[in-house]
Amino acid sequence: MDALELLTTRRSNKKLVAPAPNKEQLEQIFQAALRTPDHGKLKPYRFVVIADKGLIKLANALTQVATDLNLDNKQFSKIDKICASPMVIAVVAKLDPKVDKVPEWEQLVAAGCATYGIQLAAQSLGFDNVWITGKWAGGDALRQTLNCTEQEKIVALLLIGTAENEKLERDSKTADTQDFVSYL
C-alpha cells in the first residue's frame, strides 16, 4: 500500500483482537511517530505502552475516573471494551510553557501529529486501531497511573490490535472536500 492509499483509506476500528505489534514493530511505529512535524524539535510527547497486566492497571484507573466523574453505566461499560484491546498506547503531551519559540498549543498539535503517526504506521504494518479520549483523559486516576506531571496532558489512548473481522472493508468512498476547502 502506498502512502496516499494509506492516508485515503485509513479508518478507525474498535473491534480488535491479538496479536498486537511486537517489540520490533513497536520500534518501527515509534520511529514513524518521531518523524512527525515538531517545531523546535522539542519532542513534546511521550508514549506509554499498555499490554498484559498493564491493561488491568488501566481498567482500575478508568474505573476510578468513571467513579470520580460520576459517569453513567454506558461509560462504565466502555472500560471493558477499552481494556479488551490487546494493546493500548497512551500518548502524553509534555507541554513546556517556558518555550517562547513554540507556544503550548503548537506543542499539543505536535503530540497530536505523533499520535496520528502511530496510527498510520500501525495501519501500514497491518494493525487496526482507534484513537479515544473523552472524559477519561482528564481523570486524576489515569493521570497518576501514567505518571503525568502537572504540565502534561493525555492526548490519546490508542487501542491497537488485529481486526476482529478480517473481511471489514476499507471505506473507499471519496469524500466531498467542497465544504472544507477554499482558495484565496
Half-sphere exposure of 77 (CA within 13 A, CB side): 3
* Cα angle for residues 32, 34, 37 (degrees, 5° grid): 100
Question: How buried is residue 133: exposed, middle or buried, by Cβ count under 10 Å (0-12/13-18/19+)?
Answer: middle
132 labelled ligand-binding: yes
Q: Is 143 annotated as a binding residue?
A: no
Q: Is 11 labeled as ligand-binding?
A: yes
User: Which grid cell is 95?
Assistant: 507541554
46 is in an annotated binding site: no
**Alpha carbons 160 and 89: distance in angstroms, whole number:** 8
> Has 85 been labeled as part of a binding site?
no
On whether 12 is known to bind a ligand per the annotation, the reply is: yes
Beta strands per DSSP E along the chain: 16-17, 45-51, 87-94, 128-132, 152-163
Q: Specify binding-site residues.
A: 10-12, 35, 39, 131-133
Q: Specify binding-site residues for FMN.
A: 10-12, 35, 39, 131-133
